[in-house]
Amino acid sequence: MSMAVGDKKGGAIADINVTPMADIMIVLLIIFMVITPMLQKGVDVKLPTASYTKERKDEPKTVTVALKKDTKTFLNGIAVEQSDLIAQLKERLEEMPDGGKVVYLKADEGLNYGEVMKVMDLCREAGTEEVALIAEKKVQS
C-alpha cells in the first residue's frame, strides 16, 4: 500500500500495483519458451533421422525400450539388464489389451545394427505384436 502525496486527504491508496508481477510473469514465460524445446522425454538417445515419419501421441500405457550407444537398455526410462528384459516386458505387455501390444524402440544412431536386432528379437520373444522404431523427422532444407 502507498500513501497519497499532495492530496487533500493524504490517506492510503487501495490500488494494487501489478507492474512487478507482470514483469516477473513475462520473464518466466520467456524462460519456459526457451527451455521447453530442449527437453526430451525419457532416456537421452541421439535418434537417427528419417524422411517419412509418423507423429504419435504420448499415451500413458506405452512401452518404450531405449538402447544407448554403450548398449545400456532402458524399459520406460528405467535401466534394465538385457537378460531381464524379456521377463519385465512380459509383465508390462500382460496389462495391455490384445491388438495393442506395441513396443516403441529408441536406439542410438551410432549403435551397431546387430545390437538393435538383438533387442528387437528379445521384444518379439516377450510377446510383442509389433515393434515400432522411433526416429527424428528429417528437416527439409
Average pLDDT over residues 34-62: 73
As given in the structure block, the three cell numbers for residue 80 are 534394465
Residue that wins the pLDDT comparison between 4 and 65: 65
Residue that wins the pLDDT comparison between 140 and 136: 136
In tens, the pLDDT along 22-44 reads 999 999 999 999 888 777 666 67
- Model confidence, pTM: 0.64
Q: Nearest CA to 49 among 138, 140, 139, 141?
A: 138
Whether 53 shows a pLDDT value over 70: the answer reads yes
Percent of residues in the chain assigned helix, strand, coil, to nearest 5: 35, 20, 45
> 75 has which bridge partners?
65, 78
Phi and psi dihedrals of 105, rounded to 5?
A: -110, 120
Average pLDDT over residues 63-75: 88
Question: What does the alpha-carbon distance between residue 18 and residue 70 come to, in Å, rounded to a whole number?
Answer: 52
Residue that wins the pLDDT comparison between 27 and 54: 27
Q: Nearest CA to 65 among 3, 12, 121, 18?
A: 121
What Cα–Cα distance (Å) separates residue 117 from each residue in 65, 81, 100, 114, 123?
A: 13, 16, 21, 5, 10
In order of start, what are the domains of the chain with their CATH numbers? Answer: 2-38 (no CATH), 49-137 (3.30.420.270)
Least confident of 37-41, 117-121, 122-126, 130-134: 37-41
In tens, the pLDDT along 76-98 reads 888 889 888 889 998 888 888 77
